[in-house]
Structure 1
Amino acid sequence: MGQALETLLSHRHEVLVWDRNLTTGEETQPLEEAARDRQVVVFALPTQPHDELAGRLVPCLQPDALCMSIAKGLDEQGRTAAQVFTQHFGSRIGWGLFYGPMLARELQAGRSGFAVAASHRPEAGARLKALFAGTSLRLQVHEDVQGAAWAAVLKNVYVPLVGAADGLGMGDNMRGFLIATATHELADIVEHQGGRRETAYTLAGLGDLVTSATGASSHHRRIGAELAAGRCGELAASGANIRSEGVHTAAMVRHHAVFDWQRFELFALVCAFLDDPAQLERRLGEYIARRF
């Protein structure tokens, strides 16, 4: 995704890419040096390193700098990127998030992408929108930062369930039911976490959910199908399930009791599926029987 954003922005802006070798820890250059005098810093990386990197950036950035993240997971403490940014940047440095259906390969191929640019500062979202003006990534400014964060993070939990249902040949009607039900429950959780219900229906929630749940190349969707087919061993060996933000998010929500997840039946069903994929058809049938 970082490469896709570089492709979009480098035609009109001076772009400097910072990276770190995960094996050796070697950085392309010191982060503090790379960020000095930069107007915008984009965190195109998982949520886990946000805490360290945001802490390192605070002394280096000017007050009018803008930090934005695309991370759609929780760190090992169960925090969203928005919560990490709140802790480090607060109101001293402008920050926000941008989430939506914006698959990297499609952006690099010149196809359209769409996202919500969410920030407590309306001008920050407007700045990000202006940054991508003239590119194939279209942004909408939104002020419900916490709602957008939880919508983007939690929608990935539901995607493997849709992938599993497709893998088991449950049909198009089942897919439609699961996506509609997941979106409604997502709105409940977003509101429970302090966001606005309607944010779950924006590009950050519903838009990205549909893209991930129906895309033929969706990693999250494929994991669900593989688990439902009983290929748990292959997934564990490849580490694919560990790389899934949805699987990791479900684990962090339960481990840290981020919210009372058992109150939300479909979320709990996904967790039960991830723990014991072989029982999905029975559990899903029982869930539907209770609903109707």
Structure 2
Amino acid sequence: MAKTAFLGLGVMGFPMAGHLAAAGHEVSVYNRSAAKAEAWVAKHGGAAAPTPREAAAGADLVMACVGNDDDLRQVCLGDDGAFAGMSAGAVFVDHTTVSAAVTRELAEIAAAAGIAYVDAPVSGGQAGAEGGQLSVMCGGEAADFNRAAPVIDAYAKICRRMGPVGAGQMTKMCNQIAIAGLVQALSESLAFAQKAGLDVTDVVEVISQGAAGSWQMVNRHASMADGTFGHGFAVDWMRKDLAICLKAGDELGAALPVTALVDQFYKDIQTMGGGRWDTSSLIARLTR
């Protein structure tokens, strides 16, 4: 069992840290809103710390799951940042979806302090975090990954090293690119079925068994047809992720025409007041 710290207790981090505690790891938590950290301790035990530095002090592994590049820098750097509290030889594991650039920047700073760094963004959403069934894609040195993976297993369905630092974030971009096009296609299919007077449930039961089947189709078709979009991964966050993808695509010379188009469709959803709706809300553009 490891001594761990978890920084960021949002809809993903709260249950992920809970799985660490349930697996028997010693867990110290930090959250920008102290009330959320106290609520976590009341539910799971462990300890809450007032700063990332104090949460990270003495930990073998420090996990973070925050909002964006700037949030990650804030919890890592400065006098109260996690790096200031970590001992040489400890491993920092970042579960945030951020740019590969900030990942490499922070990994270099960590290395200078003797701290190992693994970028480990996740896929599976709130349901995957709560069920301990996340897909975790990691970048970092093999030895560092091998130290982190048995602990990450507390909330992972699969945890795989994809390459050096930054490779985890690049893999997460592949994930978001694939989801963007898939959800738009599913939205068009379901909206078409409704306009054709078909029973959406019957349609999905048939086509999900063939080549059109997907996790999104099986798990989101009913709520999409009903116009309910409260599953957790907000459009605002998806647009943040797609901006990262599109910037990386420009840098790599990789064409992402569908991703760019769907990003604008998500902008429409924001204009409709759906910034906090989940990503399946793309159908709302077609059925309003």
TM-score range, shorter chain: 0.5 to 0.7
Q: Which of 235, 255, 259 matches 1:241?
A: 235
| Greater share of strand | 2
Q: Which of 65, 68, 80 matches 2:93?
A: 68
What RMSD over aligned residues (CA atoms) do the two structures have, in Å? Answer: 4.4
Taking every aligned residue pair, what percent have the same amino acid on both sides?
Answer: 12
**Separation in structure 2 between the aligned mates of residue 13 and residue 22 of structure 1, nearest angstrom:** 22
| Pairwise CA distance, 1:266 | 2.8
| Pairwise CA distance, 1:96 | 0.5
Aligned residue for 2:52?
Answer: 31
Is 1:166 aligned to residue 186 of structure 2?
Answer: yes
Aligned positions, number: 224
Counterparts of 1:1-292 in structure 2, within 5 Å, are: 1-11=12-22, 12-21=24-33, 28-48=49-69, 49-55=71-77, 56-74=81-99, 82-90=103-111, 92-109=114-131, 112-119=133-140, 121-132=141-152, 137-169=157-189, 213-214=216-217, 216-217=219-220, 240-242=234-236, 244=237, 246-251=238-243, 259=251, 263-274=255-266
**Separation in structure 1 between the aligned mates of residue 149 and residue 89 of structure 2, nearest angstrom:** 16
Matched AA of 1:90 = A
Normalised by the length of structure 2, the TM-score is: 0.59
Q: Judge conservation of contact 2:19–2:154 (CA < 8 Å) in 1.
A: no
**Separation in structure 2 between the aligned mates of residue 15 and residue 125 of structure 1, nearest angstrom:** 19
Gapped regions of structure 2 (runs ≥ 5) = 1-11, 36-47, 194-206, 270-281, 283-288
**Separation in structure 1 between the aligned mates of residue 58 and residue 255 of structure 2, nearest angstrom:** 47
- CA change 1:154–1:85 in 2 (3 A) is farther
Gapped regions of structure 1 (runs ≥ 5) = 180-209, 281-292
Normalised by the length of structure 1, the TM-score is: 0.59
**Separation in structure 1 between the aligned mates of residue 85 and residue 31 of structure 2, nearest angstrom:** 17
| Pairwise CA distance, 1:132 | 4.2
**Separation in structure 2 between the aligned mates of residue 142 and residue 254 of structure 1, nearest angstrom:** 21
